[in-house]
Amino acid sequence: MLTYEIQDASRALAIARSLKSYASPFAVVGGYKLIDNGVEPEATVQIEANGTLIHEASTGKGPVDALANVLKKALTPLFPEIEGVKLVDYRANIMDAKRGTSTDVEVTIIFTDGDRVWRVYSLSENINAASFNVLIDGFEYAILMKRARDGSVTPPQNQ
């Protein structure tokens, strides 16, 4: 059986973000918009980075795919390293089924850039919001790791 070291990107980002010196490489402006007609979901997002504001829209095979596609589409012109990032596993765990449709959902996505593997997770009553937060963190971690390899920033470390 093959085993791989999977980095805990959520923990590393939480630690990095607690430092006064931390600056995110990009910001989402105004959240995201998601239209899901059950056939072809569409997501829109605005990203601000390096003094540039990018507004994009994209579709997907489902709401999470549409969110992943729009983020990748918006981030790739500013951060070409995102092009090689792939989502390899998606999990959504219901935390308390007794609460019905208002229960918290923990979303976990495993990403790879072909060399490393990292996991990101988020908890929300809204599965799409949790998924969006995970996607943001997964792409942010990819950017930070690429910058660390290039020597332009210290990578977030798991402790």
For residue range 15-51, list pLDDT tens digits in order.
999 999 999 999 999 999 999 988 999 999 999 999 9
Over the range 12-41, which residues count as b (16 or more CB within 10 Å of their CB) and which as e?
bbeebeeeeeeeebbebeeebebeeeeeeb
Q: Which is more confidently placed, 132 or 103?
A: 132
- Percentage of the chain with pLDDT > 90? 78
How far is it, in rounded angstroms, from Cα 155 to Cα 142?
Answer: 10
How far is it, in rounded angstroms, from Cα 71 to Cα 156?
Answer: 22
pLDDT computed for residue 80 by the predictor = 94
pLDDT computed for residue 8 by the predictor = 96
Helix axis angle for 63-75 and 127-150, nearest 10°, is: 30
Per-residue pLDDT for 159 more than 80? Answer: no
> The pTM is what?
0.89
pLDDT computed for residue 152 by the predictor = 62
Q: Which amino acid is at 90?
A: Y
Per-residue pLDDT for 155 more than 60? Answer: no
Q: Closest Cα partner for 85 from 127, 116, 123?
A: 116
Class of domain 6-150 (CATH, top level): alpha beta
- Percentage of the chain with pLDDT > 70? 93
